[in-house]
Amino acid sequence: MLIKKSVDQKLNVKPIYVNLVHRYNYEGPCRIGKSEELTPEYEKRNALKTFKALKESLKTMYSEDVNLLESLSVTWTDEFIIKDKELEKIEHDLNKTDIFLVSGDISQYYASRLAEKYRKPVGVVGCGSSTSASAYLKSIGLEGYAYIDYYDADSHFSLLRARKGIASTRVLYVLKGDMISKGVVSGIRNLNYLTQKYGIKFSFINAEEVLDAVSGLDEEGIKQAKEIANDLIKNAEFCYVEKEYVINSVKFYVVVKRLLEKYECNAFTIPCFEICATQRLNKDKYTFCLAHSLLKEEGIPSACEADMNALFSMDILMNITNSAPHMGNLHPASIINSDPCVGSNLIAENYRRTPKKFMKIDNLIYIFHAVPTRYMKGRNKGPTPYGIQAFTYSGWGATIRYNYDQDINKEVTFLRVDPTGTKMFAVNAKIVGDVGYSDIGCATGFYAQVADVKDFFKKESQFGHHYAWVFGNITEKIKELGEIIGMETITA
């Protein structure tokens, strides 16, 4: 059975053209025209011609993420009564419809009736009609959207599709001891709220089920792991990890894929510290990092350290951009030549201190974690160059590496949801340079420049330390999505 990924959801749009046919030939404050243009027969012919042209143009207007349902023309008269028989035409696709796209004559009233009757989002095109309908529907707590024209709807459709993708998220949540990892105390505790508010659902399994499955992986699974490992090694710029250890980490990925299918889930997170302390990973010589990278490349959000905030953030970014994001610890760079992460043994010695070449740059932050991907610039684009390095000084724990020096001056957007699940923090920054590309450890990442590092850190203290990120400045899109799903967006 295939995994139904959130990023593969399509938005079902039902176009409706409203045709007003006047019963008599007359002029007045509601209509003017030549006499022959005011007859019911002329209006019917003209509406049919317009509707046919509209149907054809709509077919090529929107992205492949939009599934256009059959366009429908409905008629009403200057009695201004919407007949039940006209509404019944709409009900044929009602269960499939995610949003009605309404246009035509005095369509604001028709659109409002649709939203009130069926409790579905309605988007309206047209001068007067669009803003009138959206203002009214918003005032009574229903979803009404105004579009300047049909093309204007496309970018908004992508965000509605993202909401649908997020609502289809089913998280396989691995437990060891507590739901919240000791390393991420800012994690979201009220998962029921995420289900009720955003539609995200959860399946919980014990860590032992996962670890035992890796230790007892069958021959077919081992064969699959070897094939994937061979391909990774073959295409890497460098591989400083013995093939056996690459295979070990890929075996974990194979097992997670099977468990996702078994539990019908499409997102994954697992605690690190608590499982590391069992010493089973040390015995079997693998870490979770490579699996996180590979899963994201397939469109499956996968977060370190049972961090639901980071997973939710990643889900949002993947559904907006269709990329495979990196995630990591985000922190201001120290203004003195010492490591802000005092006491950490996860970072290589040679960059615990801010490199001298970055020291004179103002408003500097840095991010690191050994879970980048080959498709951070888009899952529909080719893989970027990468390396393979060990997580441990013992040489095991294969991780993907990416050199961010090739992206100096490029903009990025960091994102994290807060511990209540009600707010998100979107940060725009510019890459300054790479750190830890080939270093051992939870290393690979980069330094970046924000507008005001003190403002950034003040706001970050409300959210926590793990952030997912994507290339480009998409803060406005995140804010728009926040409005749609009912989540406050803080920016820096």
- Looking at the 3D structure of the chain, how many domains does it have? 2
Residue 212 lies in a domain: yes
pLDDT over 60 at 400, yes or no: yes
pLDDT at 350: 39
pLDDT at 346: 46
Region 36-58: what's the mean pLDDT?
A: 89
Beta strand pairing call for 326-332 and 466-471: antiparallel
Residue 353 lies in a domain: yes
Q: Cβ contacts of residue 483 below 8 Å, gap of 6+?
A: none
Higher pLDDT, 296 or 347: 296
CATH number, position 154 = 3.40.50
Tens of pLDDT, residues 260-273: 999 999 999 999 99
Contact assessment for residue 292 and residue 304, using Cβ atoms and an 8 Å cutoff: yes
Residue 1 lies in a domain: no
User: Do 155 and 190 belong to one domain?
Assistant: no
User: Do 115 and 225 belong to one domain?
Assistant: no
pLDDT at 328: 96
Q: How far is it, in rounded angstroms, from Cα 484 to Cα 179?
A: 29
User: Do 154 and 235 belong to one domain?
Assistant: no
Residue 292 lies in a domain: yes
Residue 446 lies in a domain: yes
pLDDT at 133: 96
| End position of a domain, from candidates 137, 162, 187 | 162
Q: How far is it, in rounded angstroms, from Cα 324 to Cα 306?
A: 18
Region 249-266: what's the mean pLDDT?
A: 98
User: Do 125 and 188 belong to one domain?
Assistant: no
User: Do 133 and 179 belong to one domain?
Assistant: no
Range of the domain at 249: 169-491
Q: Which span out of 328-337, 354-363, 450-459 was modeled with the highest average pLDDT?
A: 450-459
pLDDT at 105: 87
Region 234-239: what's the mean pLDDT?
A: 98
| End position of a domain, from candidates 142, 162, 182 | 162
Window from 103-107, 141-145, 408-412 with minimum mean pLDDT: 103-107
Percent of the chain with pLDDT over 70: 96
User: Do 157 and 178 belong to one domain?
Assistant: no
User: Do 76 and 93 belong to one domain?
Assistant: yes
Per-residue pLDDT band for 87 (boundaries 50, 70, 90) equals confident
Region 202-212: what's the mean pLDDT?
A: 98
AA letter at 153:
A
Residue 2 lies in a domain: no
pLDDT at 343: 46
Q: Where are the beta strands (DSSP E) in 60-200?
A: 66-68, 72-77, 99-104, 122-125, 144-147, 170-175
pLDDT at 409: 98
User: Do 437 and 354 belong to one domain?
Assistant: yes
User: Do 156 and 191 belong to one domain?
Assistant: no
Higher pLDDT, 192 or 34: 192
Q: How far is it, in rounded angstroms, from Cα 313 to Cα 416?
A: 5
pLDDT at 335: 54
Per-residue pLDDT band for 54 (boundaries 50, 70, 90) equals very high
Beta strand pairing call for 411-417 and 302-303: unpaired
pLDDT at 21: 86
Per-residue pLDDT band for 353 (boundaries 50, 70, 90) equals low
3-state SS string for 415-465? EEECCCCCEEEEEEEEEEEEECCCCCCCCCEEEEECCCHHHHHHHHCCCCC
User: Do 151 and 231 belong to one domain?
Assistant: no
Tens of pLDDT, residues 323-351: 999 999 999 987 544 455 544 444 444 34
CA dist 171 → 82, 295, 353 (Å): 44, 13, 37
pLDDT at 341: 52
3-state SS string for 176-239? ECECCCCCCCCCCCCHHHHHHHHCCEEEEEEHHHHHHHHHCCCHHHHHHHHHHHHHHHHHCCCE
User: Do 325 and 409 belong to one domain?
Assistant: yes
| End position of a domain, from candidates 127, 162, 197 | 162
**Which structure tokens are listed for 469?**
């990120």
Q: Which span out of 46-50, 74-78, 293-297 was modeled with the highest average pLDDT?
A: 293-297
Residue 245 lies in a domain: yes
pLDDT over 80 at 126, yes or no: yes
Residue 33 lies in a domain: yes
Q: What rounded mean pLDDT belongs to the chain?
A: 93
User: Do 220 and 352 belong to one domain?
Assistant: yes
